[in-house]
């Protein structure tokens, strides 16, 4: 369908926005930009940032006008050409190849026990580190990494490898500053993941298990696509649960009245969903306009590189009341933290099961008196990927 663009407004430029300012705290920037338009050209990142909820949602649902297969994609350079940078029908074929590995039935049959084991291991590590330890490095990151290692089928790697691979690959995906050191680390991890996959494929064909790599080993997916899709899953599959644990813990410990409500009613799902609305772990992803078109009443030229900023959309006051606040009692409206349309996050069930059903309730049960360290405040950063990077906690 051709969209009429006559009369559409031009998109304003936001020349003063810088990458360091976005990394430090993008939300005041989004508020300022949103007050004048839902889309802005931002030279610092060489793309149009889409910050309005309705505009972001429109882009998600219209792959005919807004393609995931972006020219010059940073993700393609960092991870290879995965399904996240493909449109249907190619995307759909590769997504269906994942089968039921990441879905609720498999979680119940296979992965819940893995999550429980990982929790016990890394809770003990956190306790050994003692009060004042960083919840992210001692618990949330290794817990998410070990779960992912087993689900993906990397018998030949450790959780430390998963953490290194995930961080360096997503750093490449978000390398809008074109830092050569970031590219070097991403390229090294990409080669390591390729080698690990190549080593595991014959093993899992001979001795299959319930893992994703074993599932993919039995499909006709080309090797390069298989590698790219595993790297994509390593990236998002680790940082989303890690950051959801840290952000939710930080938010609840900063809002004791809401923590009391969560504990009284076992409202862990409410706390989780509000935290990923408030601070979306994957806050921006790219699209490319396939034609001259209109979006939110604004003229978008053919070939325009768009940044779909779900981190801004999830704080749009046209949709969410008092959106800058963390509030588990807010009226339930769908956030965009897991994306939407054909690219809705395939790992959403895994994230919810590992965080909501295991990590959060057991963490607060096992660490009575859990609280923030007043001498060492939490550190939060990022805008393409955003989360709590340091969370010192006390207990007992």
Per residue in 159-210, pLDDT tens?
Answer: 999 999 999 999 999 999 999 999 999 999 999 999 999 999 999 999 999 9
In whole angstroms, what is the distance from residue 311 CA to residue 337 CA?
A: 7
pLDDT, one tens digit per residue, over 1-46 is 334 455 789 999 999 999 999 999 999 999 999 999 999 999 999 9
Nearest to 96 by CA among 197, 215, 209, 232: 215
Residue 69: how many other CB atoms lie within 10 Å: 17
Which candidate, 244, 242, 197, 200, places its Cα nearest to that of 223? 197
pLDDT for 120: 98
- Residue 298 three-state SS: strand
Domain ranges of the chain: 19-394
Using alpha carbons, select from 327, 326, 334, 318 the residue that is nearest to residue 380.
326
pLDDT surpassing 70 at residue 332: yes
Residue appearing with tokens 């093993």: 203
The pair phi, psi for residue 373, each rounded to 5°, is -85, 110
Confidence of residue 248 (pLDDT cuts 50, 70, 90): very high
Please, what is the average pLDDT of the chain? 95
CATH 1.10.630.10 fits 19-394, yes or no: yes
* 264-269 contact pairs (CB < 8 A, 24+): 266/361, 267/328, 268/356, 268/357, 268/360, 268/361, 269/352, 269/356
What is residue 15's three-state secondary structure?
coil
159's enclosing H/E stretch is helix 159-173
Q: Are 366 and 125 in contact (CB under 8 A)?
A: no
Q: How far apart are the first and last CA of the chain?
A: 62
């Amino acid at each position: 369908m051709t969209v009429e663009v006559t009369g559409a407004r031009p998109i304003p430029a936001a020349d003063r926005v810088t990458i360091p300012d976005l990394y430090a705290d993008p939300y005041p920037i989004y508020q300022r930009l949103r007050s004048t338009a839902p889309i802005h050209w931002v030279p610092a990142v060489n793309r149009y940032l889409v910050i309005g909820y309705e505009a972001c949602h429109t882009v998600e649902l219209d792959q005919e006008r807004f393609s995931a297969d972006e020219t010059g994609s940073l993700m393609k350079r960092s991870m290879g050409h995965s399904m996240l940078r493909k449109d249907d029908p190619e995307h759909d074929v590769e997504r269906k190849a994942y089968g039921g590995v990441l879905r609720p039935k498999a979680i119940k049959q296979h992965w819940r026990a893995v999550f429980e084991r990982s929790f016990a291991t890394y809770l003990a590590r956190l306790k050994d580190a003692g009060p004042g330890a960083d919840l992210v490095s001692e618990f949330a990151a290794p817990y998410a990494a070990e779960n992912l290692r087993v689900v993906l089928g990397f018998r030949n790697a450790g959780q430390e490898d998963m953490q290194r691979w995930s961080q360096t690959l997503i750093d490449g995906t978000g390398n809008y500053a074109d830092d050569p050191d970031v590219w070097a680390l991403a390229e090294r991890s990409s080669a390591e993941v390729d080698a690990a996959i190549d080593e595991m494929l014959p093993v899992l064909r001979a001795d299959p298990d319930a893992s994703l790599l074993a599932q993919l080993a039995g499909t006709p997916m080309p090797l390069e696509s298989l590698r790219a899709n595993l790297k994509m899953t390593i990236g998002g599959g680790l940082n989303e649960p890690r950051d959801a644990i840290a952000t939710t813990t930080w938010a609840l410990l900063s809002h004791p009245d809401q923590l009391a409500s969560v504990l009284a009613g076992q409202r862990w799902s409410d706390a989780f969903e509000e935290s990923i609305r408030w601070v979306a772990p994957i806050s921006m992803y790219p699209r490319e306009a396939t034609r001259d078109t209109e979006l939110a009443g604004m003229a978008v030229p053919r070939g325009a590189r768009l940044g779909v900023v779900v981190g801004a959309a999830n704080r749009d006051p046209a949709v969410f009341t008092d959106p800058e606040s963390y509030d588990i009692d807010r009226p339930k409206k769908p956030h965009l933290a897991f994306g939407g349309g054909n690219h809705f996050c395939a790992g959403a069930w895994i994230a919810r099961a590992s965080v909501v059903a295991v990590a959060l309730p057991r963490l607060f049960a096992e660490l009575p008196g859990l609280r923030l360290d007043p001498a060492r405040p939490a550190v939060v950063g990022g805008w393409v990927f955003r989360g709590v990077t340091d969370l010192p906690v006390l207990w007992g």
